[in-house]
């Protein structure tokens, strides 16, 4: 009886290094695969953060005008800052809007109608695409449209000019 046990023990002892080598190869494969997957995930995360930040940093000042007393077209009314999505969902415009009235007596009327005036500006901006507002010609057409639409909202007086002291698109 002693002999079959020793043959079995010898066979098991001979197979043990092969099993150990197979397990080591399996563990090495798992470690390599895990390292590759983790590396890809880290690189993907870094790339997505970098792309997201680069898109956020794409906010650029497109046009800045300093009001000039020599070219003063009337009586100034500042509607303030606007942040409005453009027609494309991933772009927006940030602008300060100032308009000028032909007579000073209409400033108080503009103040009373400010919510309606602001709504007009938002409606006009949101109806535009990035191509409509990114060129100098596009901005001039935008000012012309705002001038006409703002004048139409005021029961008296006329908007003589619209200016953007700050204007940025992203």
From the CB of residue 2, how many other CB atoms can be counted at a distance below 10 Å?
A: 6
Strands 159-169 and 92-101: antiparallel
Q: Are residues 67 and 129 in the same domain?
A: yes
Q: Are residues 30 and 101 in the same domain?
A: no
Tens of pLDDT, residue by residue over 135-169, are 999 999 999 999 999 999 988 888 899 999 999 98
CB-count burial class (<10 Å; 0-12, 13-18, 19+) for 99: buried
Q: Are residues 44 and 70 in the same domain?
A: no
Band of residue 116 on the pLDDT scale cut at 50, 70, 90: very high
Q: Are residues 53 and 10 in the same domain?
A: yes
Q: Are residues 88 and 147 in the same domain?
A: yes
Give how many domains the chain has, as a whole number. 2
Q: Are residues 52 and 86 in the same domain?
A: no
Q: Is the entire prediction scored with pTM above 0.85? A: no
Q: Which of 55, 108, 48 is nearest to 77 (CA)?
A: 108
Find the domain containing 10 and state its range.
1-57
């Amino acid at each position: 009886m002693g002999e079959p046990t020793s043959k079995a023990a010898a066979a098991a002892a001979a197979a043990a290094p092969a099993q150990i080598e197979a397990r080591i190869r399996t563990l090495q494969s798992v470690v390599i695969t895990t390292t590759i997957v983790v590396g890809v995930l880290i690189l993907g995360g870094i790339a997505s953060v970098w792309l997201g930040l680069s898109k956020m940093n794409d906010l650029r000042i497109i046009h800045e005008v300093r009001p000039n007393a020599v070219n003063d077209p009337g009586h100034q009314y500042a509607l303030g800052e606007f942040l409005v999505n453009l027609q494309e969902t991933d772009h927006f415009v940030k602008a300060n809007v100032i308009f000028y009235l032909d007579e000073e007596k209409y400033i108080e009327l503009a103040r009373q109608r400010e919510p309606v005036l602001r709504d007009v500006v938002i409606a006009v901006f949101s109806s535009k695409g990035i191509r409509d507002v990114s060129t100098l010609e596009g901005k001039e057409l935008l000012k012309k449209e705002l001038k006409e639409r703002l004048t139409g909202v005021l029961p008296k007086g006329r908007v003589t000019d619209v200016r953007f002291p700050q204007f940025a698109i992203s």
